[in-house]
Amino acid sequence: MANKVLVTGGCGFLGSHVCELFRKEGWDVVSFDSMTKYELKRTGYGTDATRDYNWDYLKNLGVTMVKGDIRNLEHLMDRTEGCDYIIHTAAQPAMTISWEDPELDFSTNVIGTFNVLEVARKRKIPVVNTSSIHVYGNSINDSLVEGKTAYERNPVEIPETHPTMVGQLSPLHASKMSAEHYVRSYTDMYGIKGASFRFTGIYGERQFGGEDHGWVANFAIRSFFGLPLRIFGTGKQTRDIIHAADGAQSYLAYFKNPIPGVYNIGGSSPHKISLLECIELIGEIMGKKQEVLFEVERPGDMRYFICDIKEAKKFGFAPTIKPKEGITRLLKWIEANKDVFNISGK
């Protein structure tokens, strides 16, 4: 009998890659997603076709599709019957939205995660919570050297032991950290095999990125359609970006070797790139130069984060897709699916 996994936020960008991987590995996969449109509304190209794209894609792969809200514990419990694993990718992920609607941020990221943990406890199954490097806050900004095209730091990589929740904090910082605390408490008190994955710079195909969330895809989409790119700050903000296919592999590796804890999930030093360098790479791949507009840096933004992934390597995590390869794949997907984007004249 095949193993069964429920993926919250399964129709989201990362969630869809997780569903795809586990389905190809022969698992029974349930996608549990509320199909909210609040993120896409802000991109300038979010339509019903855009939002339904991942739903239709996964349905064609044989994934069981469920429309549901993680804030509804009863519905979530009903749909996890027979599951061996729960992967929690559903979230309110944007810092800007957390400023504007803190109740949405709290109820989704804290209450939603609590419900997922209750399912894992009652079903006695392992669970991974998708967290974010935002929990480190932004005091890292104070230790940076400003290079020509990127911020630099010594040491380059930042481990999980680095102080968290420091600097100027938003509701998103608070909700993501609260969720991590609940995972830790359920691991300690109830013995569930729980982990929190702190992702950084995730990107790839099927990502309808906007200025609030998904900056690599946002740059790629706008570059493809000849739209100006907008940068808040110097453009030297630097991340170790990770392709979603590598991100999905981290959840499979954890199931095979579930060591509870908190883990950085990123590309580490080999995947280091700044906003300006990313734009240049996209232009190089496409063979054209983009228009870039600069605006004032947003409060709470983190200028730099490069993961130390030694801890995640212990359970088998090993990213392989380098930025040029991953961004090329993203651009090819945009070209093949350009009709899904509601951008007139293109």
Which amino acid, 23? R
Q: Is 5 helix (H, G, I), strand (E, B) or coil?
A: strand
Q: Return the pLDDT at 193.
A: 98
Residues with Cβ < 8 Å from 40, sequence gap 6 or more? 46, 47, 50, 51, 208, 210
What's the pLDDT score for residue 346? 42
CA distances from 240 to 1, 17, 159, 202, 332 (A): 38, 19, 13, 9, 22
Q: What is the pLDDT of residue 95?
A: 72
Work out the burial of residue 77: count CB atoms within 10 Å of its CB; fewer than 13 is exposed, 13-18 middle, 19 or more buried. Answer: middle
What's the pLDDT score for residue 270? 96
Q: Which fold has domain 4-340?
A: Rossmann fold (3.40.50)
Q: Where are the domains of the chain?
A: 4-340
Output the CA–CA distances (angstroms, integers) from residue 291 to 20, 203, 217, 220, in the order listed.
35, 21, 16, 12
Q: What is the pLDDT of residue 218?
A: 92
Per run of 10 residues, the mean pLDDT along the chain (length 346 residues) is: 95 95 98 78 63 93 97 96 97 78 92 98 98 88 92 96 90 93 98 97 89 84 94 96 98 98 97 97 96 89 94 97 97 93 60
> At residue 273, what are phi and psi to the nearest 5 degrees?
-160, 145
Sequence-distant (6+) residues with CB within 8 A of 266 are: 133, 199, 200, 201, 239, 240, 241, 242, 305, 306, 307, 309, 319
Read off the pTM: 0.93
Structure tokens at 158: 């930042």
Give the pLDDT of residue 42.
Answer: 58
pLDDT at position 100 is 84
* 224 φ, ψ (degrees, to nearest 5): -60, -40
